[in-house]
């Protein structure tokens, strides 16, 4: 039996006999640079799941409009449950009736450097998430450079904002969410996996 940890919510929401997603049996431990992944997910509504490896799991936010490369664009990011590390390679279709039903592709992936500091000292990402402010330098295939995630409210599911920071990788003319829809793993788009049929959904399938 898996021990109680921050993946409990992930496991509780999924029936491993029905979904092709990773079971999330255990937290990971990896060496080397921490990874990030952004998964485009056509669920109840289209969104991009932004995930950062920290503390043996993927800290996660759902970004309805996807990330921008323009520092003037503030993108809403709703926190979601921690995901297991092997979720970073997941691409496929979550079946109708299951949590998050719909196709998922790995829209971008790579490693990141933690830029979060307090009083000149690096703050571990898991602590930064708890404190409501994370700054990372992404080294992905589509996205590069510094991004900030900031909590803007209180309560059980407070809103966060994802914004590109000003650096040499900021570019207001790019719009990769639109212009680069392919998976960085398979080259497939969500359409190739089959867009979900809207209006046929019976159960609650957020996520
Ligand atoms: Mn999702």
pLDDT over 50 (residue 1): no
DSSP character string of 99-150: TT-EEEEEEEEEEEEE--EETTEEPPHHHHHHHTEEEEEEEESS-EEEEEEE
pLDDT over 90 (residue 203): no
Average pLDDT over residues 114-119: 96
What's the CA-to-centroid distance between 137 and ligand 1, angstroms? 22
Q: What is the pLDDT of residue 54?
A: 95
Q: What is the pLDDT of residue 173?
A: 96
What's the CA-to-centroid distance between 38 and ligand 1, angstroms? 10
What's the CA-to-centroid distance between 48 and ligand 1, angstroms? 7
What's the CA-to-centroid distance between 42 and ligand 1, angstroms? 8
What's the CA-to-centroid distance between 61 and ligand 1, angstroms? 8
Q: How far apart are the first and last CA of the chain?
A: 25
pLDDT over 70 (residue 206): no
Nearest to 38 by CA among 69, 19, 61: 61
How do residues 119-174 score in pLDDT, each as one tens digit? 999 999 999 999 999 999 999 999 999 999 999 987 777 999 999 999 999 999 99
The DSSP element (H or E) to which 9 belongs, if any, is helix 8-12
How do residues 27-67 score in pLDDT, each as one tens digit? 887 778 999 999 999 998 999 999 999 999 999 999 999 99
pLDDT over 90 (residue 85): yes
The reported pTM is: 0.91
What's the CA-to-centroid distance between 165 and ligand 1, angstroms? 24
What's the CA-to-centroid distance between 15 and ligand 1, angstroms? 16
pLDDT over 90 (residue 195): no
Mean of the per-residue pLDDT values of the chain:
91
Average pLDDT over residues 77-89: 95
């Amino acid at each position: 039996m898996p021990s109680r940890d921050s993946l409990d919510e992930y496991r509780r929401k999924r029936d491993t006999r029905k979904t092709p997603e990773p079971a999330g049996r255990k937290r990971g431990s990896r060496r080397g640079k921490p990874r990030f992944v952004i998964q485009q997910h056509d669920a109840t509504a289209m969104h991009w799941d932004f995930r950062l490896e920290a503390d043996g799991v993927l800290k996660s936010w759902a970004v309805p409009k996807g990330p921008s490369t323009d520092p003037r664009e503030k993108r809403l990011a709703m926190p979601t449950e921690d995901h297991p590390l092997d979720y970073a390679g997941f691409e496929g279709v979550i079946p109708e009736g299951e949590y998050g039903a719909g196709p998922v592709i790995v829209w971008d992936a790579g490693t990141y450097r933690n830029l979060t500091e307090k009083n000149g000292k690096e703050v571990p990402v898991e602590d930064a998430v708890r404190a409501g402010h994370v700054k990372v330098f992404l080294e992905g295939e589509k996205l590069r450079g510094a991004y900030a995630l900031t909590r803007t409210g209180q309560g059980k599911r407070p809103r966060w904002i994802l914004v590109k920071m000003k650096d040499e990788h900021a570019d207001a003319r790019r719009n990769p969410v639109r212009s680069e829809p392919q998976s960085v793993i398979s080259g497939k788009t969500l359409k190739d996996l089959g867009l979900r049929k809207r209006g046929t959904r019976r159960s609650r399938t957020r996520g």
